[in-house]
């Protein structure tokens, strides 16, 4: 069930940043046994990188960052939905929001490094397996599956 009341907004206020980092740290670091989450990582503040927070009526429930490569492509990074809110269409709502944001930036193709457990989620949203940059598959991303979604055919 898609909750239409949810919005994918840019992370802007100090409160947004707190929620954004808490969700990311808890879901993508602590729950996976990773340490060293950096709230001040420069990649979150680059002008062409867009940290986004999925907000529902009862507060923030998901995070993602869209990195605009300024060549018509973008990378979807660090996707997470709060554990107690999964299976309700919120990941799909977040995906639709990212695609809308990407189209507004004239991005025609999205890429992702999907953890193996999330490949089915992306496939459900019509992403396809596609090797786009093997140099990304190092460290924590070594066993990720590279995928893409074409939003608009290039003329």
Ligand X SMILES: CC(C)(COP(=O)(O)OP(=O)(O)OC[C@H]1O[C@@H](n2cnc3c(N)ncnc32)[C@H](O)[C@@H]1OP(=O)(O)O)[C@@H](O)C(=O)NCCC(=O)NCCS
Q: Where are the beta strands (DSSP E) in the chain?
A: 7-10, 49-56, 59-68, 73-81, 109-114, 128-129, 145-150
Contact criterion met (CB below 8 Å) for 88 and 117: no
Size of the site for ligand X (CB under 6 A): 18
4-33: contacts with ligand X (CB under 6 A): 27
Residue 16 neighbours by CB under 8 Å, 6+ apart: 9, 53, 60
Of positions 71, 120, 139, 153, contacts ligand X by CB under 6 A? 120
DSSP 56-89: ETTEEEEEEEEEE-SSSEEEEEEEEE-GGGTTSS
Q: Does residue 90 belong to the site contacting ligand X (CB under 6 A)?
A: yes
Residue with smaller CB distance to ligand X, 106 or 124: 124
Q: Which is nearer to ligand X, 11 or 114 (CB)?
A: 114
Name the CA dihedral angle for 154, 137, 126, 43, rounded to a multiple of 10 degrees: -70
By rule CB under 6 A, what string of x and - marks binding of each residue 47-86 to ligand X?
Answer: --------------------------------xxx----x
Among 51, 60, 74, 91, which residue sits at the site for ligand X (rule: CB under 6 A)?
A: 91
Q: Is 114 among the residues that bind ligand X (CB under 6 A)? A: yes
**Which of 89, 108, 130, 146: binder of ligand X (CB under 6 A)?**
89
Site for ligand X, rule CB under 6 A: 27, 79-81, 86-92, 114-115, 117-118, 120-121, 124
């Amino acid at each position: 069930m898609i909750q239409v009341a949810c919005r994918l907004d840019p992370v802007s206020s100090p409160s947004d940043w707190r929620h954004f980092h808490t969700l990311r740290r808890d879901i993508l670091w602590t729950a996976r046994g990773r340490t060293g989450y950096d709230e001040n990582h420069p990649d979150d503040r680059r002008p062409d990188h867009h940290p986004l927070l999925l907000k529902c009526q009862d507060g923030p429930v998901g995070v993602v960052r869209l990195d605009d490569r300024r060549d018509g492509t973008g990378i979807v990074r660090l996707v997470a939905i709060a554990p107690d809110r999964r299976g309700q269409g919120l990941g799909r709502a977040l995906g639709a929001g990212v695609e809308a944001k990407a189209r507004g930036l004239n991005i025609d193709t999205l890429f992702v490094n999907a953890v193996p457990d999330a490949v089915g989620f992306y496939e459900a949203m019509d992403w396809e397996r596609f090797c786009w940059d093997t140099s990304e598959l190092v460290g924590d991303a070594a066993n990720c599956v590279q995928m893409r979604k074409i939003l608009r055919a290039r003329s």
